[in-house]
Structure 1
Amino acid sequence: MRLLHTMLRVGNLDRSIQFYTGVLGMQLLRRNDYPEGRFTLAFVGYGDEAHHTVIELTHNWDTDSYELGTAFGHLAIATDDIHATCEAVRAKGGKVVREPGPMKHGTTVIAFVEDPDGYKIEFIQP
């Protein structure tokens, strides 16, 4: 068994695809419209779905935004240079919401950015 994907509901699919591909450097792997169901699925990631866990962006055509709730925490991405990664995100218009530094009560260096729908993405520097 293996983890295939995480699904996020997004209000503006093109804006979200631009963030995950243009800001975070992922690839758009596939995009499918389902007119009878009035939704579109787009899959993004750092590698093909056969070998990597990816993100499924779900856009319900009649919904412009979602309340994030309090149960979901964040996605995590490993990076070798967290400072350069945050600067690259910022330079591309992304929002860094927690600057790089040690995690609370630990030594692991982390930072957080936010996608256009408010989902948090944690960068971790091993």
Structure 2
Amino acid sequence: MITGIEHTGIIVSNMENSIAFYTEVLGLKLLDRFEHTSVPVELAFLGLGEKVLVELISGYTGEVTNEGKVHHIAFSVTNIEEKFELLKGEGVLIKDKKITELPNGKYFFFYGPDEESLEFFERK
């Protein structure tokens, strides 16, 4: 049986830049990092506490578009207005010009270092 989402994998062009973005800008913790022994890629796992949320994959040589097979990753946040201004202040490319309100919460999209589509979502 499914017990939850394990993580979302993102193909990255520069592991160091991506780790810096996800840890220093988004506040995730680097939980593990190693070379995959049977496939020539480097993997980094980031998350909150001990829970992995994101797997970064460097050195992947298969075909991938900017969007890849995953449309986006949505991170739960509190005080979304503060997060919107924080990312703008960090020079992060914000896709949405304003925060969008839905019946169940608020959100905005922005881009990671490899133009991966990311979302901050604050549930009501």
Same fold, TM exceeding 0.5? yes
**Could you tell me how far apart the structure 2 residues matched to 1:122 and 1:90 are?**
14
2-structure distance, mates of 1:36, 1:117: 25
Unaligned runs of 5+ in 2: none
Alpha-carbon distance between aligned partners in 1 of 2:109 and 2:57, rounded to the nearest angstrom: 22
Report if aligned partners of 1:23, 1:93 keep a CA contact under 8 Å in 2. Answer: no
Alignment match, 1:26 = 28
The TM-score normalised by the length of structure 2 is 0.81
Quote the Cα distance in structure 1 between the aligned partners of 2:104 and 2:40: 46
Structure 1 segments unaligned to the other structure (5+ residues)? none
Tell me what 2:80 maps to. 82
C-alpha contact 1:10 1:66 (8 A) present in aligned 2: no
How many residues matched?
120
With over 3 angstroms needed to count, the CA separation of the structure-2 counterparts of 1:111 and 1:12, relative to structure 1, is: same
Seq. identity, %: 27
Aligned partners of 1:78 and 1:123 also within 8 Å: yes
Aligned equivalents of 1:38 and 1:29: distance in 2? 20
Give the root-mean-square deviation of aligned CA atoms. 2.4
Three-state SS of the structure 1 residue aligned to 2:95 is strand
Aligned with 2:46: secondary structure?
strand
Deviations, residues 39-64 of structure 1 (Å, cap 9, x unaligned): 2100011221xxx242110101768x
CA contact (8 A) 2:67 2:116 kept: no
Aligned to 1:5: 7
**Counterpart position of 2:94:** 96
Alignment of 1:1-126 (within 5 A): 1-34=3-36, 37-48=39-50, 52-60=51-59, 66-69=64-67, 71-98=69-96, 99-103=98-102, 106=103, 108-126=105-123
